[in-house]
């Protein structure tokens, strides 16, 4: 039965083309996601609201305040003196931090003693809090150097930043975003491909036809592979051009890897579809298995190396983890096959495993 | 009222019949909270790093010792050449290499400022920036000690004393777990309501409901009540898990939190029902709901603080109920913020919910007329 796979493929293509609304969404959503999120996502903090309580009121303290306000990082919401209820200030979210300049600030500076500045930070977002602390540390040490005349150290520290010399957010996020969008779309595409047949009663027709389970599964995955691949290439090219992320390595290699990865998503969807009783269960399961793990556990934003050891192993069963390493490697570091073959092999392994399990489960369903 | 109760009964029967729902509604979110709440952090830790010591002198070893003592880095040993350092970085095995130049000690003693190079993987600019900041402060301290050793002198100095309110240990779990509860709730409530109604459309039972003397709004309320009950159950599980597993104290008022959850459900159920009125098949409803949920998650302030986003995107987040809810969860959990400072969020969630529900009821109504 050589002709059966093409027959299934044909049937599935008809189905894809018939549902114009879904097709339109599958082709436009990835682009929309890329655009919206590509612009929205940046970890460069700026315009942090700070309140300054200046109990010194001297030219020296005003100079420090000027220094704070001259950065893009801080936006001074208010300069005041006296005593304030910090808790109320933070609860009403008028400011994220408060800088106290003590009454003896100017004297200490002039007489060469240590001046103590207190910085109270709303640390409910700890990441923001440590940034604020570091940044204010920078401001005060610059202020110090300015007052004492520059003191060159005994040796200098020269950073050499590889792969992303300006440390921009886009090169980090855009490849990750592509990985995220691809898995979300491809798992969604097939999550109902099988269960739909069950609910609409066409399953029986498939069962009485002489088609093998493996042919049905593969026939269902193939047309979507093309769809997912087209999506992938479009967002890769767009993301690269719009957000100025040049592809250092081989475009062809990224494209090949994309096919492997799209199939991972599709086979995940097929498996969910095969073992689910109803469409709604299949969809909920697909969502549970894709959205959060791919967003949170893949290294897309939150670094895997910072996770507790046990959970680092967990991130190793999330397919997006591997593809993010691959695509960042090729696009940003100019990696060739030599550096990424391990990740590619794992993805291929996952593909074969998921498809095999789907075929098995499908066969059991039949009996 | 009797009619509404009849709808509620029917829904509960259906939910009970679907065995997989129990797993999807209660077990999956609980597991996700457990795993992701324990795993994710945006702290920078365990940066795999090495040293290339081209000087091998007492001074260079002192620098290396200071570098090894920083617990931010996982020190993996020394590399033998620049080529090796670069290759290891290309492979992703190393993210940072400190290079101490030849004649480092000799130059120091002659007063020529030698330069220590820091080779760093800048792919994740955020982590790279934080690592560099650390290295700078460590090396500054080394220099400071050496200077004090040779000649002590006093100059004016500014000492910054930070005080971290609400989260003194900068533990990111405190921030992430309440946010995660919100994320898990949005996924289930929106999806379940959207799929439930469209399914009735697809199998034709909605038509039957339409010919009964049931009004559009009664049907909607009857559909919302059971899912709201499920949602509150889910939320309670989340609160207990946060308490028992992650030991996250709820500093604010629990009744206020529940009232806010109610308002949030109004908006997510409204969204789900609205999606069901603009789609014809479960597949379409799923696609629309799926994308709306992804946008809601990404633009909620959970991943990236909203004030970091460009202004036009910030305006977009104003119609996102999850944005308000995550904010409310964090405020009440961590800062015990009273309603006085949260009424804007409450009003926003309530009005988004009412707008969507009224819109959906009108669309139902139209189809009957």
**What are the pLDDT digits (tens) for B154-191?**
566 788 888 999 999 888 899 999 999 999 999 888 88
pLDDT at B21 over 80: no
Give exposure, B205-215, as e/b (b: 16+ Cβ within 10 Å).
ebeebeeeebe
Nearest residue to A291 (alpha-carbon basis) of B353, B285, B303: B303
pLDDT grade, residue B251 (50/70/90)?
A: very high
pLDDT grade, residue B216 (50/70/90)?
A: confident
Side by side, the strands of the sheet bearing B96-100 are A156-162, B115-121, B96-100, B47-53, B73-78
Mutate to test the interface with B, among A34, A86, A125, A145 (most CBs of B within 10 A): A125
CA distances from B199 to A68, A200, B203 (A): 58, 12, 6
Angle between helices A251-275 and A279-296 (to 10 degrees): 140
Specify the pLDDT at position B365: 66
* Any A CB within 8 A of B164 CB: yes
The number of beta carbons lying within 10 Å of the beta carbon of residue B37 is 22
- Sign of the dihedral through C-alpha A113, A119, A120, A124: negative
Specify the pLDDT at position B369: 41
Specify the pLDDT at position A367: 66
The answer to whether A151 and B153 are in contact (CB under 8 A) is no
CA B55 to chain centre: 45
Contact B191 A192 (CB under 8 A): no
Task: Give, for A145, the enclosing helix (H) or strand (E).
Answer: helix A126-148
Q: What is the pTM of this model?
A: 0.86
Nearest residue to B133 (alpha-carbon basis) of B73, B52, B222: B73
The number of beta carbons lying within 10 Å of the beta carbon of residue B76 is 15
CB under 8 Å to B22, separation ≥6 — which residues? none
The answer to whether B33 and B241 are in contact (CB under 8 A) is yes
Residue with tokens 């670094």: A303
Specify the pLDDT at position B61: 94
A82 burial (CB, 10 Å; 0-12 / 13-18 / 19+) is exposed
Locate B143 and state its tokens.
Answer: 């220099």
φ, ψ of residue B245 in degrees (nearest 5): -80, -45
Nearest residue to A172 (alpha-carbon basis) of B22, B27, B15, B124: B124
Task: Give, for B98, the enclosing helix (H) or strand (E).
Answer: strand B96-100
The answer to whether A46 and A132 are in contact (CB under 8 A) is no
Does residue A335 sit in helix, strand or coil?
A: coil
- Sign of the dihedral through C-alpha A331, A337, A341, A345: positive
* Any A CB within 8 A of B262 CB: no
Q: Tell me the C-alpha distance between A135 and B171, whole Å.
A: 20
Mutate to test the interface with B, among A84, A147, A162 (most CBs of B within 10 A): A162
The answer to whether A159 and B118 are in contact (CB under 8 A) is yes
Contact A283 B191 (CB under 8 A): yes
Q: Tell me the C-alpha distance between B326 and A221, whole Å.
A: 38
Does residue B95 sit in helix, strand or coil?
A: coil
A contacts of B106 (beta carbons < 8 Å): none
CA distances from A62 to A67, A168, B65 (A): 9, 33, 41
CA distances from A91 to A87, B255, B308, B332, B336 (A): 6, 18, 20, 9, 8
Locate A49 and state its tokens.
Answer: 């609201």
* Any A CB within 8 A of B354 CB: no
pLDDT grade, residue B150 (50/70/90)?
A: low
pLDDT at B368 over 70: no
| Chain A residues 288-317 within an 8 A CB cutoff of chain B | 288, 291-292, 295-297, 301-303, 305-308, 311, 314-315
Q: Tell me the C-alpha distance between B232 and B263, whole Å.
A: 12
Q: Percent of chain B scored above 70 by pLDDT?
A: 96
Kindly provide the residue ranges of all beta strands, DSSP E only, lying in chain A, ordered along the sequence. 48-54, 74-80, 97-101, 114-122, 156-162
User: β-pairing, B96-100 with B115-121?
Assistant: antiparallel
Does residue B97 sit in helix, strand or coil?
A: strand
Q: Tell me the C-alpha distance between B221 and B4, whole Å.
A: 7
User: β-pairing, B47-53 with B96-100?
Assistant: parallel
Residues in chain B: 369
Specify the pLDDT at position A211: 80
**For chain A, which ranges sit under pLDDT 50?**
1
| Chain A residues 92-121 within an 8 A CB cutoff of chain B | 92-93, 108-121
Higher pLDDT, B312 or A51: A51
Nearest residue to A116 (alpha-carbon basis) of B143, B163, B151: B163
φ, ψ of residue A117 in degrees (nearest 5): -110, 135
Specify the pLDDT at position B16: 80
Q: Tell me the C-alpha distance between A190 and A283, whole Å.
A: 10
């Amino acid at each position: 039965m050589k002709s059966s796979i093409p027959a299934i493929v044909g049937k599935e293509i008809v189905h894809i083309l018939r549902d114009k609304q879904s097709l339109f969404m599958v082709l436009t959503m990835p682009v929309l996601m890329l655009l919206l999120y590509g612009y929205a996502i940046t970890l460069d903090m700026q315009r942090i609201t700070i309140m300054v309580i200046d109990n010194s009121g001297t030219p020296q303290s005003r100079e420090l305040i000027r220094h704070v306000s001259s950065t893009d990082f801080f936006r001074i919401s208010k300069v005041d003196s006296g005593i304030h209820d910090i808790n109320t200030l933070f609860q009403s979210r008028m400011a994220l931090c408060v800088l106290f300049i003590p009454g003896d600030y100017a004297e200490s500076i002039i007489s060469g003693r240590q001046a103590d500045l207190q910085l109270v930070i709303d640390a409910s977002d700890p990441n923001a809090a440590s940034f604020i602390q570091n940044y204010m540390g920078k401001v005060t040490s610059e202020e110090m150097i300015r007052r004492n005349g520059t003191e060159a150290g005994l040796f200098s520290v020269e950073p050499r930043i590889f792969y992303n010399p300006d440390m921009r957010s886009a090169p980090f996020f855009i490849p990750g975003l592509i990985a995220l969008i691809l898995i979300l779309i491809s798992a969604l595409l097939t999550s109902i491909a099988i269960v739909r047949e069950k609910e609409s009663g066409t399953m029986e027709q498939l069962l009485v036809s002489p088609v093998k389970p493996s042919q049905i599964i593969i026939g269902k995955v193939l047309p979507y592979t093309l769809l997912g691949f087209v999506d992938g290439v479009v967002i890769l090219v767009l993301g690269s051009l719009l957000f100025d992320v040049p592809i250092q390595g081989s475009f062809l290699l990224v494209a090949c890897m994309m096919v492997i990865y799209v199939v991972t998503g599709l086979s995940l969807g097929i498996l969910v579809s095969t073992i689910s009783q109803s469409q709604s269960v299949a969809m909920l399961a697909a969502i549970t298995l894709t959205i959060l793990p791919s967003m949170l556990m893949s290294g897309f934003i939150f670094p895997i190396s910072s996770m507790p050891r046990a959970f680092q192993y967990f991130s190793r069963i999330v397919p997006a983890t591997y593809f993010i390493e691959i695509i960042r490697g090729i696009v940003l570091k100019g990696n060739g096959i030599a550096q990424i073959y391990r990740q590619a092999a794992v993805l291929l392994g996952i593909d074969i495993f998921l498809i095999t399990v789907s075929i098995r489960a499908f066969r059991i369903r039949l009996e | 009222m009797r009619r509404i109760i009849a709808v509620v009964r029917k829904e509960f029967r259906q939910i009970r019949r679907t065995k997989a729902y129990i797993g999807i509604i209660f077990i999956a979110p609980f597991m996700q909270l457990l795993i992701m709440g324990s795993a994710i952090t945006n702290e920078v830790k365990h940066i795999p790093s090495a040293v290339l010591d081209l000087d091998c002198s007492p001074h260079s070893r002192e620098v290396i010792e200071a570098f090894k003592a920083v617990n931010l880095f996982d020190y993996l040993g020394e590399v033998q050449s620049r080529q090796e350092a670069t290759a290891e970085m290309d492979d992703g095995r190393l993210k940072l290499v400190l290079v101490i130049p030849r004649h480092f000690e000799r130059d120091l003693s002659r007063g020529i400022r030698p330069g220590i190079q820091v080779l760093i993987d800048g792919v994740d600019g955020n982590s790279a920036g934080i690592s560099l900041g650390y290295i700078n402060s460590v090396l500054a301290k080394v220099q400071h000690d050496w200077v004090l050793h040779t000649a002590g002198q006093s100059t004016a100095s500014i000492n910054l004393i930070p005080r971290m309110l609400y989260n003194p240990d900068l533990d990111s779990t405190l921030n992430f777990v309440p946010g995660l509860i919100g994320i898990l709730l949005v996924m289930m409530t929106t999806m379940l309501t959207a799929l439930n109604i469209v399914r009735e459309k697809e199998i034709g039972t909605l038509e039957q409901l339409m010919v009964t003397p049931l009004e559009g709004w009664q049907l909607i309320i009857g559909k919302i009540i059971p899912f709201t009950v499920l949602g509150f159950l889910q939320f309670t599980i989340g609160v207990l898990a946060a308490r028992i597993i992650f030991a996250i104290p709820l500093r604010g008022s629990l009744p206020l939190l529940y009232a806010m959850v109610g308002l949030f459900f109004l908006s997510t159920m409204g969204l789900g029902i609205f999606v069901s009125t603009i789609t014809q098949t479960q597949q379409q409803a799923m696609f629309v709901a799926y994308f709306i949920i992804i946008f809601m998650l990404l633009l909620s302030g959970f991943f990236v603080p909203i004030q970091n986003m460009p202004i036009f995107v910030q305006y977009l987040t104003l119609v996102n109920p999850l944005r308000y809810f995550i904010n409310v969860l964090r405020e009440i959990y961590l800062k015990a913020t009273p309603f006085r400072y949260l009424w804007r969020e409450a009003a926003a969630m309530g009005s988004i919910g009412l707008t969507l529900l009224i819109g959906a009821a009108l669309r139902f109504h139209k189809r009957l007329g």
